[in-house]
Structure 1
């Protein structure tokens, strides 16, 4: 069996020399699909994503991208391999304009970036209108659009989003999810940690429920939404 396009395979590890937070955790996503990590607070959701991105020590297990073992690579090297990461907080330069934020996202590129900037503006039309405005003056949802747009400037093969809808209204959440679906349709894999579990699983090709750093449930988004145990324990019935 060939690996999925991106897999964090049986990962155990934690931060620095601290105790393990992940215990044999496996997270994977196929090309052009959306995989969602859900679970209670403190379950290790963001930790699992950071492990895949190289931000903590994976003591056991491996991370593979397109069949290549990248477990030993730095986050910067993973960006060069085609991984984009949007953290939950501090994910934009507030004093820079929207367009300057997008330009900063293309720091590794040596080609013409204007086509990609236009693609971001097509995806998030409000950003075109606010391209010369300081990003710190935008609403929470618009800031998230800038953060996602900046990550897309690296032309990633995988886009990783940590709580993209945290603190935004339900209307903005739905709009962000619609844009995330559009990104996946272009062939980019999406790996997402999300507190709004039910809504996230509705758009997910694959879902993972983590509990205490371990896989509790895995399946298609629809399978997990229909699972009585998942519904009772994690989706409010």
Structure 2
């Protein structure tokens, strides 16, 4: 039986010695697929993402990438294995230029990074225009583009985005989602936590609705959008 490219299976855990936040939660994404995690505030969405990336200890369950268990490997080791992670906040170096931020994203690489930088500028043309400008001077949407671009510099096989559209205008949100679709078309798996549930599910191949750290609903984006329970509880009817 084939396995998903990335899966956190039956994950239970929390931070440090605190109470469990995740309760048997399962999240998976296939190659080149967009998977979205949605749910109410405090549902454990970002915690599930961090568990996949090795940022908290699981008390039960397992994370596997391309069929291989990641065990207790560190986030740095997971980057080396092909996982890119963009946190919701503090995700750029504000005093560095756009291009310096991208170069920092390639810290594990020993090959020529010029082609990847060119690909990022092709994906986000505004960053090419502002490559020498301090990243801290950019708009919120442009900062998010820098953060995503920096993660792409690691040449990830799966890109994990925690609230990529938080605090941006609807127009910028639509643009970011368009770019995320373009990234997925290159074969990179996308796993995304989103508060804008309806818009995220519209572009999702697979969706997960979490409630209190557990799976409440799972299906394709279209299935979840059409589910009366999901619509009533999480999409405003």
Shorter-chain TM-score tier: over 0.9
Matching of residues 174-193 of structure 1 within 5 Å: 174-193=174-193
Secondary structure of 2:122's aligned partner: helix
Write the distance in 2 (CA, Å) between the matches of 1:86 and 1:58: 21
Task: Tell whether the 8 Å contact from 1:159 to 1:190 is kept in structure 2 after alignment.
Answer: yes
> Structure 1: which 5+ residue stretches go unaligned?
none
Q: Distance in 1 between matches of 2:59 and 2:80?
A: 23
CA distance in 2, matches of 1:141, 1:70: 33
Q: CA deviation at 1:155?
A: 0.1
TM-score (norm 2): 1.00
In structure 2, C-alpha distance between the alignment counterparts of 1:18 and 1:74, rounded to whole Å: 20
Corresponding residue of 2:211: 211
Whole-angstrom distance in 1 between the partners of 2:131 and 2:43: 38
Tell me, yes or no, if the aligned pair for 1:165 and 1:173 is still in contact at 8 Å: yes
Instruction: Name the CA distance, whole Å, in 1 between partners of 2:70 and 2:191.
Output: 17
Per-residue deviation, 1:119: 0.1
CA RMSD of aligned residues (A): 0.4
CA contact (8 A) 1:95 1:136 kept: yes
Tell me if the contact between 1:8 and 1:62 (Cα under 8 Å) persists in the aligned partners: yes
Residue of structure 2 in register with 1:17 after alignment: 17
Would you identify which runs of 4 or more consecutive aligned residues in structure 1 move more than 3 Å?
none
**Alignment deviations for residues 156-213 of structure 1 (CA, whole Å, 9 cap, x no partner):** 0000000000000000000000000000000000000000000000000000000000
CA contact (8 A) 1:58 1:71 kept: no
Structure 1 SS opposite 2:133: coil
SS in 1 for 2:37: strand
What is the alpha-carbon distance in structure 2 between the residues aligned to residue 16 and residue 108 of structure 1? Answer: 28
Q: Does the residue aligned with 1:171 lie in a helix, a strand or coil?
A: helix
Unaligned runs of 5+ in 2: none
Partner of 1:145: 145
